[in-house]
Structure 1
Amino acid sequence: MSDLIQKIKSLSDAYFEEILEIRRHIHSNPELSFQEHNTASFIEEKLKSFGLKDAHRIAETGVTFCLEGKKPGKTIALRADIDALPITEANDVPYKSKNEGVMHACGHDVHTSNLLGVAKILSQLTDKFEGTIKFIFQPAEEKSPGGASILIKEGILENPTPETILGQHVMPLIPEGKVGFRSGKYMASADEVYLTVKGKGGHAAMPETFVDPIAIASQIIVSLQQIVSRIANPKIPSVLSFGKIAGGNVNNVIPDEVKIDGTFRTFDEDWRKVALQKIKDISTSIASSMGGSCEVHIASGYPFLVNDEAYTKRNVEAAKAYMGEENVVELDLWMAAEDFAFYTHQVPGCFYRLGTRNEAKGITSGVHTPTFNIDENALKTGMGLMAYLAINELNN
């Protein structure tokens, strides 16, 4: 084991209890997207306590600063998201959310505390690297249009411009002590689909007097499935799902309208545009043919996330050196979306997964669930590995 790896692991061990308490504080005090004012202040306070006093706000609740190495050189960026979800926590833990209906159910408390740990570790190792590390504590990953897109518009990738950007995310499917990487396309784009089917309501026993939006909505949903099954190139993974239908109140009264909410996800920007137009065309034409109408609203979401192949390969090799080859796994395509994708369309990026699962401790719940939690030993792995990946990239 190299002296640098040993040094980083020693610092990770030494700072573990402090970062653990930071994670628990953030977990207990979650804030929703674009509302992370207290979280941002807490991050600033901790950075100052580490002797890092140059942090400043961006997009109101984002925090960023640069750490300089022993000599000028290239710039890299490290990113963590800081917002929580509108979920009521069901875990019975001392650090349970104090904010009713708000929970760090996607691990952003872990990402934030990890990056604080990375900052503390690297602040002790500035003589070990050349160049600049830009730290990004980003708000609003969970809510469109995504904090990443806003930070990019406000210049987060400028002055200085990073040559690469690195992001880490918890993964409850991977055991604690392991990490996962995937080169190339990794996570899907995500667009929100909102359909309002309009007809003419009436008594359910008198079909000749009404235009049934429920029947129209049913036909639209069934027909739209052909976009993936019969129109899409089968070599391009695609998902069109509808999670909400709202219309009517009783069994014998036909409503005037029905609302349908869904999501479309894929890995190709050209096909994404075609598919979204097909959703509009099919929905409106079916509604019209059945005597009604359909208003279609597409809320453009995150693009697909692509991990730069060369940069990811360097990180995989560095992770194997730091953790052992047996603890670095290859990831499959993931149909979920992440606004880190915006960065990867601007600069070479690598978004990898930190294992947090521990079946012996009963820590198996997925993200975005009321019982999500982590094996907190992952914090030690997370901050140490990211610190090493940062130095390795600067010195590569």
Structure 2
Amino acid sequence: MKFPDTEGYFGQFGGNHYPPEVWPALEELTSTYRLLRYTPDFQHDLETVRVGLQGRPTPVHFLKRTTAEVGGARIYVKREDLNHTGAHKINHCVGFALLARKMGKRKLIAETGAGQHGVALAAAAAYFGLECEIHMGEVDMVKQGSNVGRMRLLGARVVAANAGQSALKEASDAAFSAYVEQRDHALYAIGSAIGPHPFPMIVRDFQSVVGHEARGQFLSLNEGVLPDHVVACLAGGSNAMGMYSGFLDDPGVALHAVEPLGTSDETGKHAATLSFGTLGTLHGALSIVLQQEDGTPSQVSSVASGLVYPGVGPEIAMLHEAGRLKVSAISDEEAISTFFRIAKSEGIIPALESSHALAFAIKLAERSPSSESILVNLSGRGDKDVDFVLNHHWDEDDS
């Protein structure tokens, strides 16, 4: 929590690189958040909605059958998939909605990839009586049709982004443009720990409930002993920073960031930013970016819509530069195989995003002694992915 500094930097990463016309709105958000975040009234309202609407706390659960099948280290999961709307995203969405109401804003604007952030924000907006506008890549709208329907059912206006790859990066561009036009009456509820100051700080703070809960729960389950490994999938970094927040100051706990390798690292059909990215600016912040020689973001690929992003948040970049993160990558094929495996072995259908983290945890468990333990952020459930997976990756061997 020492970071960011007063200019919004995490070491050399972060800052505010949005156009000057937006600075007053961002400064208003920063000052309001700093004023309210630790006040008893704000914390009481936040806790009320976390318990009543979200269903927090979510449990830590031992994957008994998978651990027995794999051998080696014990695998536990933080069940963020059990949140209302199906993922960790609602942790910061209710926070943004509460901030908007305190600031006198009547509308929330955001982007979404897999649709989980969009559904969570639509639910939060409905709860607080706010308008909601969600921008989503046209490709993702087809792939995640059930989530589009849920957003609309909850009262949100869903706008198709059809430039470039028609995916998460383009949805973010469109959402920002809409925010610039409507900033007097709307608040941009960004979907991850990315963007200009103060967004990475705000999203991290609201998501830190995941790591702090998980830490206490794991200690209770394991007689006061911390996990040896903490694992999260990585794109922008909201679920990762939420999970890491509970363990950053524990040098004996290895923090693993699992990136999407897509179909190939050789052809560039991946979204493994820390593995292959370089210093650059994306969506208003200096960070690590997958980019072409001219500095424009590269086209990226993953079977998980929520991981199709060519950058990472600035705090993730700082932790990586400091050597605090162990970075690995999981292919589409490995993630899909794990999607089926966890469903059959544990009765849990994980999101394809979370399946990347679980696939890595299984590989890690296989090469680790049985005395060690692994805690995975199961960041979302896979209801949204079922039709896509069955239509494109199901065969008789899976029945």
Larger strand proportion, structure 1 or 2? 1
Determine which structure has greater relative contact order: mean sequence separation of CA pairs < 8 Å that are 6+ residues apart, divided by chain length. Answer: 1
TM-score (norm 1): 0.26
TM-score (norm 2): 0.26
Larger helix proportion, structure 1 or 2? 2
| Bigger Rg, structure 1 or 2 | 1
